[in-house]
Structure 1
């Protein structure tokens, strides 16, 4: 339950933000803020390849999962914030977007079993009996200790869609910048229905995200034309993306066996170590097809009926053989929440002439790539290049922002 003091504080923050007094936008990216929190994920329990979007007013559910290292359960709570299309907080009050309670205990937890690294696994299903979602839009879930509500341990984005518009389109290598070269271009149509009172030039906000990486998100300037109830988005520079290359993959499903793209494994100290095969830059190489999961990971352990509790933490050793460059190099994938810091930054080994990194990861199947920080823009292109044949995944979301509204509604979302 929201106290009056807390409600006043939230209103004040909203007014400061909306009044232009906020110097920086709020950090609403998914991520963890404690060294003991690991393996944050959000997924559709029926199909892990689905984007984190549920349909309003249906039985759709998302499951947010994470581990906290150690042997003791912690008393945790969670809350959610409603955000606009730009992922900044909307002006909606909690009772307008949440039914039930917005500060709930996390009661679904269990202890790891038979692992060298001990942890407690936590799960939150959204929506649930205690918390119902009343409106569509972007949502941010925050988890914090029961005794310290201002200490955010982690946060996770997800969306609720009305599915009141029909989105279609295609991806092509015939782009406004070149044909069968380094880019891919989208053509998108949004069917709002004949007789709709929506003004497509003022009321709609359309965003496109490549491979679930928030730094790739584009907001379209507006439609090219309308054809009755169909709105066409085309020939917009924001619809042209670098094609990049397929993600790399590895598996640690069996800790004592060298799986996919793993040269060797060994037990050292207090846990298993997996040494991946040496990677090389692919910028000058031709495209090679691979069946990837567009950056995702899936927890798995070959001998466990419940991998969430039976999978161990393995220290994964990454090696990228290439000359040193001026910019920082990172390992990236959904397992990093697409954040960049010391935990996934590579260091250069002058003796071996390669970049190396060691990251503790829960057993499973992983997609990853190497990215370069070019002035705050994180891109894999300097290492892997751009191949027009790459099978990228594009999430298209359509928001309704009508005059006088205090929050953006998500009226449609689809993957192209």
Structure 2
């Protein structure tokens, strides 16, 4: 009975949140966190609950949906800019500014001054904004093309309101690389026999024949990322073998330092249209003020045989099926997720994916309904196609456990990136001198 009451209250909370955002007349009331409690972070983070659908991707001026699936990565001196997009629920424009910060390998801010990595003053006004058209929930859509930078490396952009740099709205990571070294990946089954059927091992070689590295053991740092996630990236790998005459660094390990769980192919739903039921959508309820999409009830996939399925490797695209103008005409839909477990599990259950940067918060926390044996949550999402997983968190201190519900298989198709950092002699910051993106099916 207590669980049912919690479920009911969560639904009321979502409806209240939507109503509270229409319209926004006082920007000081929109903060998810009081201004005094907003602490700058170099992680991807949204500070205000009425900010939704944050995207940062290379704007090739081609297929926008394909661009959205790309990570926030760009080549140094590349003419294709990175494009920031986000929505603010309501119908009032806010005066938003962008600042950009250079960071080291560990995502701590570097010692570089603004003038060392930017050509312009580090305060950019977002001038491109439009009000949504013909949507039940109005919103203002903002977009901003990032300026070019003078140096490769890790970067974080911060959006703040007006002239107050402490009134933060969101932060977003991106990287700029300048390939000075060559990276050759080799994906293999795990060297640990106990994990060979469920892990993927990333071996690789770095060649620096045309680039000077005085002390590779100290000067070179490497990061490996799976499916564009920073939270589970592998860092601080040291080369197992240095071939000085051939200018080669070998990264092959036998203690699982370079292992990722293979996981499973992502679950997916499609609610680009509210006129018919898209993939994995069981029901649509359309009122004058809100659209509710109830997804098919999911089952745990752990223990089942691996099945190859097409996915976006955890990402999502925004789209309006009927008009093709998703950024301004896609509505925000109360999307209901359900996972049938039959009984409670010894921890918390969340819905995660690229749509929420894999973060755990009250919005994607699931509540167990004892009458149906189902975990349930409702999340406000813009019309589109979304990948997602169910994640288990045994305790507040433990990391999320995705294989708990989804299973893990070495055959799974995953996206990987290897990022190589170097701090030159006398340098004051880590620079990205190598970047390699590859698919697990391509590197075998």
TM above 0.5, one fold?
Answer: yes
Cα distance, 1:63 vs structure 2? 0.7
Q: What's the counterpart of residue 303 of structure 1?
A: 322
Partner of residue 56 from structure 1, selected from 73, 76, 95: 76
2:339 to 299, 311, 320: 320
Residues 32, 294 of structure 1: alpha-carbon distance in 2 compared, 3 angstrom cutoff: same
Q: Aligned to 2:91, which of 42, 59, 71?
A: 71
Asked if residue 342 in structure 1 is aligned to residue 374 in structure 2, the reply is no
- Gap change, CA 1:160 and 1:195, over 3 Å in 2: closer
Q: Report how far residue 273 of structure 1 moved.
A: 0.9
Q: What's 1:91 paired with?
A: 111
Matched residue of 1:110: which SS? strand
Residue 401 of structure 1, CA deviation: 2.2
Question: How far has the Cα of 1:196 moved from its partner?
Answer: 2.9
**Distance in 2 (alpha carbons) for counterparts of 1:372 and 1:26:** 28
Contact 1:256-1:272 within 8 A present in 2 as well: no
TM-score normalised by L of structure 2: 0.84
Give ranges in structure 1 of 5+ residues lacking alignment: 1-24
1:335 & 1:69 partners in 2: Cα distance? 16
Which residue matches 2:249? 231
> How far 1:269 sits from its partner (Å)?
6.0
Distance 2:211 2:286 in 1: 66
CA contact (8 A) 1:176 1:235 kept: no
Question: Could you say if the C-alpha distance between residues 320 and 331 of structure 1 is closer, same or farther in structure 2, counting changes exceeding 3 Å?
Answer: same
SS at match of 1:216: coil
Establish whether residue 353 from structure 1 lines up as the match of residue 369 from structure 2: no
Q: Could you list the per-position Cα deviations for residues 129-173 of structure 1 after superposition, in whole angstroms to 9, with x for gaps in the alignment?
A: xxx311111100110111432011111110111111121212122
Question: In the TM superposition, what whole-angstrom CA distance separates every residue of 1:378-406 from its partner, at most 9, and x where no partner exists?
Answer: 12111112111111111110000245422
CA distance in structure 2 between the aligned counterparts of 1:260 and 1:278, rounded to whole angstroms: 13
Q: RMSD of the alignment, in Å? A: 1.7
Match of residue 435 from structure 2:
413
Query: How far did residue 85 of structure 1 move?
Result: 0.9
SS in 2 for 1:133: coil
**Per-residue deviation, 1:104:** 1.0
CA–CA distance in structure 2, aligned partners of residues 220 and 145 of structure 1: 36
| Contact 1:296/1:334, CA 8 A, preserved across alignment | yes
1:109 has 2:129 as partner: yes
Distance 1:318 1:183, change over 3 A: same
1:393 aligns with 2:411: no
Q: How far did 1:376 drift?
A: 3.5
- Alignment map for 1:278-289 (pairs within 5 Å): 278-289=297-308
Match of 1:34 among 48, 55, 63: 48
The CA deviation at 1:213 is 1.7
C-alpha contact (below 8 Å) 1:175/1:183 kept by paired residues: no
Cα displacement string for residues 304-351 of structure 1 (whole angstroms, at most 9, x for unaligned residues):
242100111111100000021121111101110222110111111111
Q: Is the 8 A contact 2:213 2:219 kept in 1?
A: no
Q: Does 1:367 align with 2:387?
A: yes
- Contact 1:177–1:183 (Cα < 8 Å) also in 2: no
Aligned equivalent of 2:168: 152
Gaps of 5+ in 2: 1-38, 61-66, 439-444
Seen in structure 2, the aligned counterparts of structure 1 residues 223 and 302 have a Cα distance that, compared at 3 Å, is same
Q: TM-score, normalised by structure 1?
A: 0.90
Secondary structure of 1:116's aligned partner? coil
Say which of 44, 48, 66 aligns to 2:58: 44
- Paired residues, number: 388
63-72 or 231-240, which deviates more: 231-240
